[in-house]
Amino acid sequence: MANLLVSIRSGPGPTKPVQRPHPPVLVGGNGPGAEDRVLDFGEQWLPQYGLLTGVGELKRRVVSLRQRAADAGRGPIPITLFDAAPERGLLDEFAAAGVDRCLLALQDRTADKTLATLDEWAQLMRS
């Protein structure tokens, strides 16, 4: 194997994932070509909530992406929303918009504040 930066004369070749099937490829992005890249290269979409105009835009894009996937003979595309707000009402709206899971951003804080935030989020998940 060789390229401009490295040359390996012997060895097992390019690394391969151990997991079979390989872990899912999440394609991030909110730009106008994000859904095209998901359909061309990925298995899941990872949009960032703060860069969307709102839940309405998210829902329109999820519906469109899943319809395009169905038209191409693919199954439903899972959606993982990055930087979701930890608010029950918004989380319910995300779920109604077709989001499968949300990633919450945990800020750098003291151990006590971090544990308190995690306790709040655990309570939020139970409600």
Distance CA 71, CA 111 (A): 49
Per-residue pLDDT at 23: 86
Give the count of domains, the chain: 1
**The two three-digit tokens of residue 5, written as one number:** 């930066």
Distance CA 46, CA 39 (A): 13
Number of H helices, E strands in the chain: 4, 4
The CATH number of residue 40's host domain is: 3.20.20.60
pLDDT in tens, 20-68: 787 889 999 999 899 999 999 999 999 999 888 899 999 999 999 999 9
Per-residue pLDDT at 99: 97
Residue range of the domain that includes 58? 26-126
Q: Rounded mean pLDDT of 86-104?
A: 95
The reply to whether the predicted model has a pTM over 0.75 is yes
In degrees, rounded to 5, the angle at the alpha carbon of residue 105 between the alpha carbons of residues 115 and 48 is 165
Report yes or no on 95 lying in a domain: yes
Report yes or no on 8 lying in a domain: no
What percent of the chain clears pLDDT 70, i.e. is strictly above it? 87
Report yes or no on 17 lying in a domain: no
Report yes or no on 63 lying in a domain: yes
Please list, residue by residue across 41-79, b when 16 or more beta carbons sit within 10 angstroms of its beta carbon and e when fewer do. ebbbbbbebeeeeeeeebbebbeebbeebeeeeeeebbb
Report yes or no on 61 lying in a domain: yes
Report yes or no on 7 lying in a domain: no
Report yes or no on 15 lying in a domain: no
Per-residue pLDDT at 4: 65
Report yes or no on 30 lying in a domain: yes
| pLDDT value at 102 more than 60 | yes
